[in-house]
Structure 1
Amino acid sequence: MDDSEKKIPVIFKALCDENRVKILKYLIGGEKCACRLLEEMKIGQSTLSHHMKILCDSGLVIGTKDGKWMHYTLSPMGFREAANILAIFVPELKEKQS
């Protein structure tokens, strides 16, 4: 199993939870502070941290520390990589390499 195939379960894990999908949708609007996500999601700090770790580990989200808070944003490169990795199931979706 190559590295990209090892990433498949990590990507699916990130996408298989309703709360993580909601977080991704919130982040479509741009960078958000963890404090803002806590308000929007109505979940506890430890629960948010758990979800954000999974999203960051998948490469779909980037987290940066600013003072005592983390700020999160979607990673276009991470989504591109995920799409290319998942394209092994539907080769027509694979991004053409130039």
Structure 2
Amino acid sequence: MKDQLDQLEGLFKALGDATRLRILRLLMAGEICVCDIHDTLKIPQAKASRHLAYLRRAGLVTTRREGLWIHYRLATSADPIIVTVADATTHVLGHVETLKKDAERLEKRTGCCVPAAARAKGLACCAPASKAAR
């Protein structure tokens, strides 16, 4: 019982920050890189990374490494507590106007976080292929 209570406490602490809620809303659109969060929310990359790590420890976010880049996405969990809270949270986040505007800015983002000079030397863009091709 204590382990579940500790897990639930950690989960709600993770949800108790406006920046983390904004990040979760962006992740509802699918897998993204920290540079997408930095650019969309206008926060330092270090701050975005710190919040992503917090969400990952809470079981809400998972990662996938591709070369130098780490891509983040909402976690799929077998734990019914996490599933229930995550489902309710994402439902509510979809109706908050500020968070809708964040999602619209993310959708309009066409940039690549890798400078053109570095891309010319073969360093791949972290953006999905459709964005990188632009």
Partner of 1:67: 67
Task: Quote the Cα distance in structure 2 between the aligned partners of 1:78 and 1:54.
Answer: 19
How many matched pairs?
Answer: 85
TM-score by length of 1: 0.75
TM-score by length of 2: 0.57
- Which consecutive unaligned segments of at least 5 residues does structure 2 have? 86-134
Partner of 2:52: 52
Partner of 1:6: 6
Which protein has the larger Cα radius of gyration, Structure 1 or Structure 2? 2
Partner of 1:93: none
Bigger mean CA deviation after superposition, 70-79 or 39-48: 70-79
Write the letter of the residue equivalent to 1:22: R
Write the letter of the residue equivalent to 2:3: D
Task: Quote the Cα distance in structure 1 between the aligned partners of 2:8 and 2:42.
Answer: 29
- Which consecutive unaligned segments of at least 5 residues does structure 1 have? 86-98
Task: Quote the Cα distance in structure 1 between the aligned partners of 2:58 and 2:38.
Answer: 21
Could you list the structure 1 runs, at least 4 aligned residues long, displaced by more than 2 angstroms after superposition.
78-81
Task: Quote the Cα distance in structure 1 between the aligned partners of 2:77 and 2:10.
Answer: 16
Aligned-residue sequence identity (percent) comes to 34
* 1:14–1:58 CA contact under 8 A, matched in 2: yes
Bigger mean CA deviation after superposition, 25-34 or 2-11: 2-11
**Coordinate RMSD, CA, aligned:** 2.0
* 1:59–1:75 CA contact under 8 A, matched in 2: yes
Distance 1:16 1:3, change over 3 A: same
Write the letter of the residue equivalent to 1:17: D
Residues 31-46 of structure 1: pairs in structure 2 closer than 5 A:
31-46=31-46
